[in-house]
C-alpha cells in the first residue's frame, strides 16, 4: 500500500487557500497547495508573486528545509499502528507493507478506509492504493482514476496499462524519449522486446517496469519502532513505606541509567509509577533541562515529589519509564558558549524547577520573524541553539504578550509622543529615541508597518511604544509593547 501526502492543514488554516513556498532559482515558488488554493488554479511550481498578484488573500507559509522529510518519517512511525513495516517515500509518500494486517480490520477495504479516515481527521489530503508491488501501488495512488484503488492478487499488469509512463517513476530523459516516440500509455510499450527497450531507454526503464510488475525485487527499508525505555520491579510483598519506595526508585534508576549511559542517551522526561493492591496506579513525573543519565541527580528530583506518592495499602509493581530520551552532549561542550560546567548548571535549574514547579523557568531563542512577539520561541532544552542571531537593536526585557492600546499626544508626522495615557494614567515623556520601522512579513500577511519608539518618563522608567500605520493614510493607532529595566 502506498499513500501520498499533498498538504497539511494547520487548525487556523482550515477552509482557507494556503500554500507552502520555498526559494528556487532566485524566486519563491509553491511547493504544495491546499484544496482551496488548487481550486483557484494555484499549483506546485507557480511563482508566489504571480499567485499573490491574482489572489491577494492567499496564505503563504515558508517551507522549512528538511521539514518535509522529518514529517514523512514521523508519519511512517505513526503508521506502525497499522502495520509493522512502514517507510517514508520522499518527497510526499508513504509505503506500507500490509501483509497479514487487513483481516484485523475486516478486510482490505475497511482497512484502507480506517487509515485514510485517520489521516484525514489530522488534516492531511491523501490518495492511496493497494497492490502486490510497491511500484504498482505508487502508480495507482498518483495516476489512477479511482481514489482508494485496490488491485486484486496478480492484477497489477492490467491496472498499469492505461497509466502514463510517468507512473513508473522514470527519470526525465527517459520520459522525454518515450514522449518523442508517441508513447502516452504503458500499454504501448509494455509488450515490446526487452532488448529493444534496453537499447533505446537503458536499464532504468526495465528495472522500474519489473518492480511494478513484480518480476524484480525492490528494496524496502522500514522505520524501526522506538524502543521503550522502561524498567519494572515487582514486589514479593506490598510496599507502603517511604524508605521502601525510595529503595525501589533507586534500584530502577540505576538499571535504566546504566542502559542510557551505554547508548549515550539521557532522560528529559520520566515518570515513576506504582500499581497498588487496590488496582489503582499512582505516579510522579520529572523533567530536566538537559538530557541526564546521572542516577543521583534524577533521584533527588523524584524525592522532592515522593510525599505526593500515595501507596495506600501497598504497591505491588513499580515502573520507571523514560517518556523523552535524548542524546547526551559531551562534557566538553559549553552551555550558551560560556565557561563552567554545563551539566552542573542544568542540574541546578532542574532542582530549582522541581521546587518552584514546572513551567516557571524558561529559555528563549530568536527566530526569523520581524514582529517582536513572533521573533522569539521557547527553547526545548538548555543545549538547543538557533541559527538566527539576536537583533542588534535594543529590545525591552519585558515584552507584553499582546500590545496594549494607548492614547497619545504627539506632534506630526513622525515625532515621538509628548505624553501618553495607559490604563487611565497619564505618563509624560522626558526623553525619546526612534523611530525604528518594522514591516510585516509579506508572505504571512499584509498591513501597515510599525514605528517603534523607546521613551523615558521623568522618573527614569522606560517604555517601548509603537505607532501602527502612517499619518495621512488613515488614522494610526498607538500601543505599549514593553518595558525596559
Choose between 204 and 29: higher pLDDT: 204
What is the percent of the chain where pLDDT is above 90? Answer: 29
Q: Is the pLDDT of residue 332 over 50?
A: no
Q: What is the pLDDT of residue 337?
A: 47
CA angle centred on 414, ends 408 and 418, rounded to 5° = 35
Q: Is the pLDDT of residue 354 over 90?
A: no
pLDDT per residue over 197-207, tens digit each? 888 898 989 99
Choose between 199 and 333: higher pLDDT: 199
pLDDT per residue over 243-276, tens digit each? 999 999 999 999 999 999 888 889 999 999 999 9
Q: Whole-angstrom Cα distance, residue 211 to residue 135? A: 6
Q: Is the pLDDT of residue 213 over 60?
A: yes
Choose between 179 and 413: higher pLDDT: 179
Choose between 6 and 300: higher pLDDT: 300
Cell numbers 506502525 correspond to what residue? Answer: 80
Q: What is the pLDDT of residue 444?
A: 65
Q: What is the pLDDT of residue 330?
A: 57
Q: Is the pLDDT of residue 331 over 70?
A: no
The arithmetic mean of pLDDT across residues 291-308, rounded, is 90
pLDDT per residue over 175-184, tens digit each? 899 988 899 9
Q: Is the pLDDT of residue 391 over 90?
A: no
Choose between 464 and 474: higher pLDDT: 464
For residue 66 the three cell numbers come to 528538511
3-state class of 44 per DSSP? coil
Q: What is the pLDDT of residue 6?
A: 33
Domain boundaries, the chain: 229-356, 398-484
Smallest CA-to-CA distance from 18 within 148, 142, 125 is with 125
Q: What is the pLDDT of residue 281?
A: 92
Label residue 33 exposed, middle or buried (CB < 10 Å: 0-12, 13-18, 19+): buried
Choose between 143 and 357: higher pLDDT: 143
The arithmetic mean of pLDDT across residues 146-161, rounded, is 88
The pTM for the full model equals 0.52
CA dist list (Å): 10 to 34, 140, 398: 11, 28, 30
For the domain spanning 229-356, the CATH number is 3.30.1490.100
Amino acid at each position: 500500500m502506498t499513500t501520498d501526502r499533498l498538504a497539511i492543514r494547520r487548525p487556523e488554516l482550515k477552509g482557507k487557500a494556503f500554500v507552502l513556498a520555498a526559494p528556487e532559482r532566485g524566486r519563491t515558488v509553491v511547493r504544495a497547495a491546499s484544496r482551496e488554493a488548487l481550486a483557484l488554479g494555484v499549483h506546485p511550481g507557480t511563482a508566489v508573486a504571480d499567485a499573490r498578484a491574482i489572489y491577494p488573500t492567499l496564505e503563504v507559509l515558508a517551507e522549512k528545509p528538511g521539514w518535509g522529510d522529518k514529517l514523512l518519517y514521523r508519519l511512517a512511525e505513526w503508521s506502525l499502528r497499522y502495520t509493522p513495516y512502514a517507510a517514508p517515500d520522499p518527497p510526499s509518500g508513504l509505503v506500507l507493507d500490509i501483509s497479514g494486517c487487513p483481516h484485523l480490520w475486516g478486510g482490505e477495504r475497511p482497512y484502507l478506509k480506517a487509515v485514510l479516515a485517520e489521516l484525514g481527521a489530522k488534516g492531511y489530503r491523501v490518495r492511496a492504493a493497494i497492490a502486490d508491488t510497491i511500484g504498482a501501488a505508487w502508480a495507482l495512488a498518483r495516476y489512477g482514476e479511482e481514489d482508494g484503488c485496490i488491485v486484486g492478487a496478480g492484477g497489477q499488469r492490467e491496472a498499469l496499462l492505461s497509466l502514463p509512463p510517468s507512473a513508473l517513476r522514470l527519470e526525465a530523459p527517459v520520459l522525454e524519449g518515450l514522449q518523442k516516440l508517441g508513447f502516452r500509455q504503458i500499454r504501448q510499450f509494455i509488450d515490446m522486446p526487452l532488448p529493444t527497450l534496453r537499447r533505446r531507454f537503458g536499464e532504468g526503464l526495465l528495472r522500474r517496469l519489473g518492480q511494478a510488475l513484480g518480476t524484480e525485487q525492490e528494496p524496502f527499508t522500514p522505520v524501526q519502532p522506538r524502543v521503550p525505555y522502561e524498567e519494572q520491579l515487582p514486589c514479593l510483598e506490598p510496599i507502603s513505606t517511604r524508605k521502601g519506595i525510595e529503595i525501589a526508585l533507586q534500584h530502577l534508576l540505576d538499571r535504566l541509567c546504566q542502559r542510557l549511559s551505554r547508548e549515550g542517551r539521557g532522560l528529559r522526561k520520566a515518570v515513576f509509577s506504582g500499581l497498588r493492591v487496590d488496582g489503582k496506579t499512582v505516579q510522579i513525573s520529572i523533567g530536566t533541562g538537559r538530557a541526564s543519565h546521572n542516577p543521583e541527580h534524577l533521584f533527588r528530583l523524584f524525592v522532592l515529589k515522593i510525599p505526593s506518592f500515595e501507596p495506600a495499602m501497598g504497591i505491588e509493581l513499580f515502573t520507571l519509564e523514560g517518556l523523552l530520551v535524548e542524546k547526551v552532549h559531551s562534557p566538553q561542550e559549553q552551555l550558551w558558549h560560556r565557561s563552567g560546567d554545563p551539566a552542573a548548571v542544568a542540574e541546578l535549574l532542574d532542582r530549582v524547577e522541581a521546587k518552584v514547579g514546572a513551567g516557571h523557568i524558561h529559555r528563549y531563542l530568536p527566530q526569523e520573524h520581524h514582529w517582536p512577539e513572533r521573533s522569539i520561541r521557547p527553547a526545548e532544552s538548555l543545549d538547543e541553539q538557533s541559527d538566527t542571531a539576536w537583533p542588534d537593536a535594543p529590545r525591552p526585557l519585558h515584552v507584553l504578550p499582546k500590545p496594549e492600546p494607548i492614547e497619545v499626544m504627539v506632534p506630526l508626522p513622525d515625532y515621538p509622543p509628548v505624553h501618553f495615557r495607559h490604563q487611565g494614567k497619564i505618563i509624560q515623556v522626558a526623553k525619546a529615541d526612534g523611530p525604528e520601522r518594522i514591516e510585516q512579513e509579506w508572505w504571512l500577511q499584509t498591513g501597515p508597518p510599525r514605528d517603534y519608539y523607546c521613551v523615558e518618563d521623568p522618573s527614569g522608567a522606560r517604555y517601548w511604544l509603537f505607532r501602527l500605520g502612517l499619518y495621512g493614510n488613515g488614522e494610526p493607532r498607538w500601543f505599549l509593547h514593553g518595558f525596559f529595566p
